[in-house]
Structure 1
């Protein structure tokens, strides 16, 4: 017996909307999409895995910065180390709001920690984090908190000759470490905020500079086009920083976190995107009502 398509999605309006779009895009007719143009892009944090109480990459970064502050106590008076030690949540929320001073301070700290390192050195740190870190509420490793329904959607799209990309404000090189084994997509299909690299004396090393802008808001469709030469026909997100990417696609999928029992229930940072979904007719996924299984 053939396994059911989108098996973790409840039968209903949302599941059917996805199936209808894929069928129309791959069947000769007015809505047909050439194979070359079948680009699907998805945000990561909150769209593919848990993002509360903070995106998992912050857990990784904070552990590094805490270790640096213990080694060099003078860092405790400087941002972002000060905010980390004082558990100043508002400071880090300024990144999602793209507050220039917060963004600049965090980028300086990233450069301080990783400029001059090789991709292999950075990957080793990420893999150690993957091996040891657990999500605080659910008490399991972060890679066990990828949403099964979204992986099933990836499978459906690939079976229909869509190319799937992850497009996140998070670090490109961080996500690339687990992209192939977790999402089943190649590293080159990861689009994210990234440091520039330099190659000299036979070594590739991270520089102090950011490659372009942060991959948030308008930066998402801009970077998707720069990476693929096309805009997506299908896009999935969950937050206000995904609006521009969702608007650039023919079919927009917005994940609504409304399941306190199995995951989290919140709308903070998604108020504008939920309003836009109602205005433009995007397909809104209720984690509580549309998914039989979350992880």
Structure 2
């Protein structure tokens, strides 16, 4: 077992982060958490959680999983035109993006419709069948602004942060409103995070005759708002001590942590500039002492080797 009083490895830490208050706040927190004395955090409690969309990779002009499911739902409507009269298929056919904006505001009607559609689309499929669909999408679809696969638009500074925390004996989890099983397909090769450390909106499963398949019901509701700390605790038995997010659906997770990191999207040249869906988070950050990261000012590199670096 590693020594609980090991000194932080900061000499080459976070190379894509510019020197400044945000980087220093991270270094200071980790130093305190891993050094004997006031603020020391035992190994067992070193839980770090990261939102995905807008925190680990770009979520504009549309979260990546929406691209994936919209294509699936479009095929389903072609096969059964009657679906076009019900949500969320109706909003998709009519290009009614205001309906899908209800995810950010946690509108009950939007959330219920999306959950029902997610469940319907893949109920009865095996994990291998679902994984194959996601991998085919990853291999063929490109993000519209940059023209590269979505997995090339993971933020390099956040990968460095995950590596830094892991090196100091934090257990890192992704906690996203997106589909748990969707993220698990690429989590290990893209983020270096094991499948079992992915928390998200999930389907139930049934095991029968030697085969496990997706059930016709969800598991615990959407992983948004209060659902995030609830799901984190259900999964780990603890609340996080370090949490990173970027939107209003992350507020409860950020509030539950000793150290909260907020990604501020303010770089339209290298990424995107927007505050939609994060207005309350920005307002609360100052009151709660959360560390706000400016992509424009705090990151020397955004995507690593991608064209948008």
Q: TM-score, normalised by structure 1?
A: 0.97
Q: Secondary structure at the match of 1:91?
A: helix
Structure-2 separation of matches of 1:77 and 1:136: 28
Tell me which of 203, 221, 231 is aligned to 2:229: 221
Tell me which of 103, 128, 137 is aligned to 2:136: 128
CA 1:145 to 1:279, structure 2 compared with 1: closer, same or farther past 3 Å?
A: same
Structure-2 separation of matches of 1:112 and 1:213: 15
- 2:294 is equivalent to residue 286 of structure 1: yes
Tell me which of 46, 64, 69 is aligned to 1:56: 64
Tell me which of 152, 156, 167 is aligned to 1:159: 167
Structure-2 separation of matches of 1:141 and 1:278: 35
**Matched ranges for 1:49-198 at <5 A:** 49-198=57-206
Structure-1 separation of matches of 2:18 and 2:191: 22
- 2:272 is equivalent to residue 264 of structure 1: yes
Contact 2:104 / 2:248 at 8 angstroms: preserved in 1? no
Unaligned runs of 5+ in 2: 1-9, 304-309
- 2:41 is equivalent to residue 21 of structure 1: no
Tell me which of 43, 57, 73 is aligned to 1:35: 43
Match of 1:277 in 2: 285
The Cα RMSD (Å) is 1.1
Structure-2 separation of matches of 1:250 and 1:145: 29
- 2:255 is equivalent to residue 247 of structure 1: yes
Unaligned runs of 5+ in 1: none
Structure-2 separation of matches of 1:111 and 1:187: 20
Deviations 1:119-161 (A, max 9, x none): 1110000000100111111111000000000000001001101
Structure-2 separation of matches of 1:98 and 1:110: 16
> Alpha-carbon deviation of 1:231?
0.8
Match of 1:47 in 2: 55
Structure-1 separation of matches of 2:145 and 2:118: 27
Structure-2 separation of matches of 1:5 and 1:107: 40
> Alpha-carbon deviation of 1:3?
7.7
Match of 1:210 in 2: 218
Structure-1 separation of matches of 2:170 and 2:92: 41
Q: Secondary structure at the match of 1:194?
A: strand
Structure-1 separation of matches of 2:148 and 2:46: 35
- Provide the aligned length of Structure 1 versus Structure 2: 294
Q: Secondary structure at the match of 1:64?
A: helix
Moved over 3 A (4+): none
